[in-house]
Amino acid sequence: MPNPTAAMLVIGDEILSGRTRDSNLHHLARALTDHGIALKEARVVSDDHDAIVAAVQALSARWDHVFTSGGIGPTHDDITADAVAAAMGAAIDVREDARALMAAHYARTGSELNEARLRMARIPDGAVLIENPVSVAPGFSIGNVHVMAGVPSVFEAMVAGVLAALQGGDPLLSLSLQVQRPEGDIAGPLRDLAARYPDLDFGSYPYNRNGVSGANVVVRGTDGPRVNAAMAELAALFPEGVA
User: What residue ranges bind its own copies (CB under 8 A)?
Assistant: 13-22, 25-26, 28-33, 38-47, 51, 73-77, 111-112, 114-117, 119-120, 134-135, 151, 153, 172, 174, 182-188, 190-191, 194, 201-208, 218, 220
Kindly tell me the sign of the dihedral angle through the C-alpha atoms of 55, 10, 42, 139. negative
Q: State which residue, 76 or 108, has the beta carbon closest to its own copies.
A: 76
Number of Cβ atoms within 10 Å of the Cβ of 10: 22
How far is residue 223's CA from residue 6's CA, in Å, rounded to a whole number?
21
* Closest CB 102 distance from its own copies, rounded Å: 9
Nearer to its own copies, 129 or 194 (CB): 194
Residue 99 CB, shortest distance to its own copies, in Å, is 14
117-146 per-residue burial string, b: 16 or more CB within 10 A, e: under 16: bebbbbbbeebeebebeeebbbbbbbbbbb
Q: Which is nearer to its own copies, 26 or 91 (CB)?
A: 26
**DSSP SS3 for 137:** coil
Half-sphere exposure in the Cβ direction for 76 (13 Å, CA): 0
Q: How far is the CB of 126 from its own copies (least distance, A)?
A: 26
3 state DSSP class of 11: strand
Cβ nearer to its own copies, comparing 90 with 220: 220
| Minimum distance, C-beta of residue 117 to its own copies, in the bound complex (Å) | 4
When the beta carbons of 116 and 232 are compared against its own copies, the nearer one is 116
